A = this chain, B = another copy of it.
Amino acid sequence: MAGVHRKIILWICDGMGDRPHLSLGHKTPLQYARTPNMDRVAALGQCGIMDVIAPGVTPGSDTAHLALLGYDPHEIYTGRGPFEAAGVGIDVREGDVAFRCNFATVKDGVVVDRRAGRIKEGTETLAKALDGMVIEDVEVIFRAGAEHRGALVLRGPGLSPDVTDGDPHATGVPVPEVKPTSPEGEKTSRVLNEFIKRAMETLSSHPLNAEREKKGLLPANAILPRGGGVVPHIPSITEKTGLRVAGVVGVTLVKGICRATGIDLVERPEFTGGADTDMMGKAREAVKALQDHDMVLVNVKAPDLMGHDDRPMEKAKTIEKIDEAIGYVLDNMPGDTIFALTADHSTPCTFKEHAGDPVPLAIYGRGHRFDNVGKYDEISCAAGSIGRIRGMDLLPILMNMGGYSKKYGA
């Protein structure tokens, strides 16, 4: 088999790790759910648990996916802004300074609603009115994201992320003046304040907002930027590993990680990043994408949402839906594919937030080692032959199983 490269699927159930829940008889949603296909991966493969960043450390979805793709987030993660911007489709470049933004409603200089009445439509049109602006010698790139969200990229010389947010994170207060947090942030704060001012002028007089007000809706007449970060140098995953990777992903932030690391996105409007996502569609696209890629990353977001909302029974049901989709993949992928099943972090229902509890991991590959674990869950997997590893160790393990690993030494 030496020299033969095998395909890899890395299936990530966002926020799936959990804790025992009273309403499930002190089982975790994963322990409670009927998951014959996940259990098939566990039974035929090797199991373990994984600290995606490090033991006890609570991962974000962005830092977690970076680690699972073999990037050290401590080296390259500079904040959410750059990945959010890449997620909405901006072709970010090293040195750009990027911000997450909200469309908001401001009256007489005071923030009335940080989400512009949870605006759902028209933000792309509004974004176009702001995109391409030039302030001093700085190019402004602006794109709408999902719902009330957007992303702002500043491109030019002398920029820095060392500035305060242009978002008060509260209502009933004025839009704050952006201030530098170091001498390097001086120019950026000036440009950002000017952008906020011009955006307010442009949006206030935009016909789309006049229409909204006619309908009794709050106008999206201001932009509140936050979470600024400089776009780091990120070698593509193909440069780093030689692997051509596809991503079947709905949620914007993880799409951003994919774009920033050179992963080809398979995009469909049905892949919403929500509970209503087309799970089986993702499974079909994952199998298809194997044809012209070495590895496919799949992210299904729904378990995380149920965790944030403390809905353990719905989390278990969602896991059962995912299990069906995994069944399709197992039945339709090339027989020698390496299939890895894990989560990017735990989102325990009882905690309603990301937590640092380790996630379960199972890896199946025909002809590879298998252990005695027959059930895929947080506790059963801990008894498996993989033991306890860190997120950054996963990709090298998968590459080894797929025959891509290069000898270190002679």
Residues on A facing B (Cβ under 8 Å): 1-2, 19-20, 28, 49, 53-64, 73, 77, 80, 227, 253, 350-357, 367-372, 378-379, 382-389, 393, 395-400, 403, 405-410
Set of chain B residues within 8 Å of A385, measured between Cβ atoms = 49, 378-379, 382-383
* Chain B residue nearest to A64 in the complex (CB): B409
Partner of A367 from B59, B350, B379, B387 at Cβ < 8 Å: B350
- Output the nearest chain B residue to A378 by Cβ-Cβ distance: B369
Name, among A28, A58, A369, A403, the residue most crowded by chain B CB atoms within 10 Å (CB to CB): A369
Q: Is the CB of A354 within 8 A of B407?
A: yes
Inter-subunit contact B352/A409 (CB<8 Å): no
Q: With CB as the reference atom, state the residue of chain B lying closest to A388.
A: B387
In contact, B57 and A369 (Cβ under 8 angstroms): no
Whether the pair B369, A405 counts as a contact (CB closer than 8 A) is no
* Given A352-B2, A387-B49, A388-B389, A408:B357 Cβ within 8 A: no
Minimum CB–CB distance for A43 against chain B, Å = 13
Chain B nearest CB, measured from A107 CB (Å): 29
B55 touches A396 (CB 8 A): yes
Task: Report the minimal beta-carbon distance from A390 to chain B, rounded to whole angstroms.
Answer: 8
Query: Hey, which chain B residues are within 8 Å of A63, CB to CB?
Result: 408-409
Is B409 within 8 A of A56, CB to CB? no
A2 touches B407 (CB 8 A): no
Is B408 touching A73 in the complex (CB atoms < 8 A)? yes
Q: How far is the CA of A49 from the CA of B385 in the complex (A)?
A: 8
Could you pull out 5 A-B pairs where Cβ atoms are within 8 angstroms? A56-B393, A60-B408, A63-B409, A64-B409, A227-B410
Number of chain copies forming the complex: 2
Contact of A400 among B355, B384, B400, B408 (CB under 8 A): B355
Do B356 and A397 have beta carbons less than 8 Å apart?
yes
Q: Report how far A73 CA is from B333 CA in the complex, Å.
A: 39
The 5 A-B residue pairs whose C-beta atoms are closest, nearest first, are A60-B409, A56-B396, A63-B409, A387-B388, A356-B400
Tell me if A407 and B54 are in contact (CB < 8 A): no
Residues of B within 8 A of A396 (CB): 54-57, 356
Determine the chain B residues whose CB is within 8 A of the CB of A397 once the complex forms: 55-56, 356
Do B62 and A410 touch across chains, with their CB atoms under 8 A apart?
yes
Partner pick for A409 among B20, B59, B350, B355, CB 8 A cutoff: B59
Residues from chain B with a CB closer than 8 A to the CB of A54 are 393, 396
Q: How far is the CB of A398 from chain B (nearest CB, A)?
A: 7
Question: Closest approach, in angstroms, between the C-beta of A291 and any C-beta of chain B?
Answer: 25
Residues of B within 8 A of A59 (CB): 407-409
Expressed in whole angstroms, the Cα–Cα distance for A185 and B19 within the complex equals 56
The closest CB in chain B to the CB of A55 belongs to: B393
Q: Contacts of A227 on B, CB cut-off 8 Å?
A: 410
A213 to B410, CA, bound (A): 33
9 more contacts with CB within 8 A, not counting A58-B400, A383-B383, are: A55-B397, A58-B408, A60-B408, A253-B410, A357-B369, A379-B385, A382-B386, A386-B388, A387-B388
Which residues of B lie under 8 Å from residue A387 when comparing CB positions? 49, 382, 387-388
A382 to B357 Cα, complex, angstroms: 18
Distance (Å) between the CB of A8 and the closest chain B CB? 12
B56 near A398 with CB under 8 A, answer yes
Question: Could you say which residues of chain B place their CB within 8 Å of the CB of A389?
Answer: 55, 388
Q: How far is the CB of A299 from chain B (nearest CB, A)?
A: 15
A61 touches B2 (CB 8 A): no
Tell me, rounded to whole Å, the shortest Cβ–Cβ distance linking A294 to chain B.
15
Query: In the complex, how many angstroms separate the beta carbon of A52 from the nearest chain B beta carbon?
Result: 10
Task: Please indicate which of the listed interface residues A54, A397, A400, A410 has the most CB atoms of chain B within 10 Å of its own CB.
Answer: A410
Contact A379 B383 (CB under 8 A): no
Cβ contacts under 8 Å, A398 to chain B = 56
